[in-house]
Amino acid sequence: MLSVFRPSGQEVATIPVNRLVNVRGLKQHLRLLLGVPRFKQRILYQGSVLEDETRFYADLDIEVVLIVVPFCGPSQKQRHQFLRAAIDGNFSKVEAMLHRPHDPDLAAENGDTALLLASHAGHVEVARLLLEAGAGVDIADADGETPLILASDLGSVELVRLLLEVRADLDTSDTDGETALILASDLGSLESVHLLLEASASVNIADEDGSTALIAASHAGHVEVVRLLLEASAGADIADTDGFTALLHACILGHEEVACLLLRAGADKEFVYSQGTILHHASSAGHYNIVQLLLNAGADKFRRYSRKAWMHAIERGHEEISNLLLSSTCHGWDWRAIIRNILRWR
């Protein structure tokens, strides 16, 4: 058995030696038991400090002393070296400096901590090391970006997973109002979006422009991300500050599969923006398949704004769309002659 005592003689723990590989394993066990990062622990045996790689032998009864040491006050040079190592992803350098021990939340003059810098650069193992040392997972930079927001914007699925494992705040937003989910959706990082939704990230938070995760994904044409967000009950008819819904974005930009998913989810196909319905705007933009999709979904061709969609399509040279709209509207009329006459006088 291995018995751990404080310098006062108080027994802290008694652990079967066969459950421990080495001193590092003992420190990790004590971290879970006492909440003290392993970097602040010193294990003494017969008056000598044991190195992390020192092994224990199961046939011995051992008594050791645990000393918890305070963080040392770093010089400006040491602070710079520590933060530089985090930026560069220098695992061994960061670990060595944490062992001194340095505070894992040492920050640059602008407030950037080592974890922020490592997250911005996508250094997963350095981030893991800093989190093990107790680094603040939700400390934000000057732009309000937390490590999770940076990881989501970067598209680092492994880093997003790591930060979620230590319960990073899901719905914190940066100074632009963007959350990790909005950024991951805009980027099209399907696995990151899945992880964030699985962790219960709020799906309908909007940024300063009124853009939700669904609007961002729809604008960018990320089909599978849109599917995932709709399955998570994302609001299909929320409009951004410009008055655009997810469906309007998809239809104007020609994202047919996204538009199809939104229509199946019940998105408002009669939504009016700037004196025109979605059918009107899709016709003006020249997206034949989108127009066909809207018509098949029952879009009203006779509404005040959309009834002239065929004329705007002609003016913009989209004759196939005008043909499509007129053929389904002008029953008994010679709509081809109408188009020829309009084109003649353009």
User: Does 140 fall in a domain?
Assistant: no
- Residue 66 is predicted with a pLDDT of 96
| 312 and 257 co-located in one domain | no
How far is the CA of 336 from the CAs of 196, 327, 341, in angstroms? 53, 9, 9
CB 248 within 8 A of CB 214: no
Which of 68, 83, 104 is the last residue before a domain boundary?
68
Q: What is the CATH number of the domain that holds 6?
A: 3.10.20.90
Is 78 contained in some domain?
no
Q: How many CB atoms lie within 10 A of CB 74?
A: 16
Q: Is residue 344 part of a domain?
A: yes
Of the three residues 50, 68, 86, the one that is the final residue of a domain is 68
Predicted local confidence at residue 336, as pLDDT: 53
In contact, 328 and 300? CB cutoff 8 Å: no
Residue 121 forms part of a structural domain: no
200 plus 262 within the same structural domain: yes
Place of tokens 């066909």: 292
Interatomic CA distance for residues 292 and 165, integer angstroms: 46
Query: Do 262 and 275 have their domain in common?
Result: no
Task: Tell me, yes or no, whether 253 and 280 share the same domain.
Answer: no
Tens of pLDDT along 109-127? Answer: 999 999 999 999 999 999 9
pLDDT of residue 18: 81
Q: What is the CATH number of the domain that holds 335?
A: 1.25.40.20
**Tokens 């710079």 correspond to what residue?**
80
Given this model, what pLDDT does residue 332 score? 46
Q: pLDDT in tens for each of the 346 residues of the chain?
A: 899 999 999 999 999 888 888 999 999 999 999 999 999 999 999 999 999 999 887 767 889 999 999 999 899 999 999 999 999 999 999 999 999 999 999 999 999 999 999 999 999 999 999 999 999 999 999 999 999 999 999 999 999 999 999 999 999 999 999 999 999 999 999 999 999 999 999 999 999 999 999 999 999 999 999 999 999 999 999 999 999 999 999 999 999 999 999 999 999 999 988 778 898 889 888 899 999 999 999 987 766 554 566 666 666 767 777 777 777 555 544 445 555 555 444 4
Does some domain include residue 189?
Answer: yes
Say whether both 50 and 9 belong to one domain: yes
Domain boundary among 244, 268, 292: 268
- Same domain as 263, residue 185: yes
Q: What's this model's pTM, rounded to 2 decimal places?
A: 0.87
Residues 81, 93 contacting (CB under 8 angstroms): yes
Q: Are residues 264 and 280 in the same domain?
A: no
So what's the pLDDT on residue 317? Answer: 64
Based on the structure, what is the number of domains in the chain?
3
Any domain includes 49: yes
Residue 12 counted as domain residue: yes
Same domain, 245 and 302: no
Domain of residue 227 covers 170-268
Provide the pLDDT for residue 230. 98
Whether 83 maps to a domain, the answer reads no
How far is Cα 54 from Cα 48, in angstroms, rounded to an integer?
12
Quick one: the chain helix, strand, coil %, rounded to 5?
Answer: 50, 10, 40
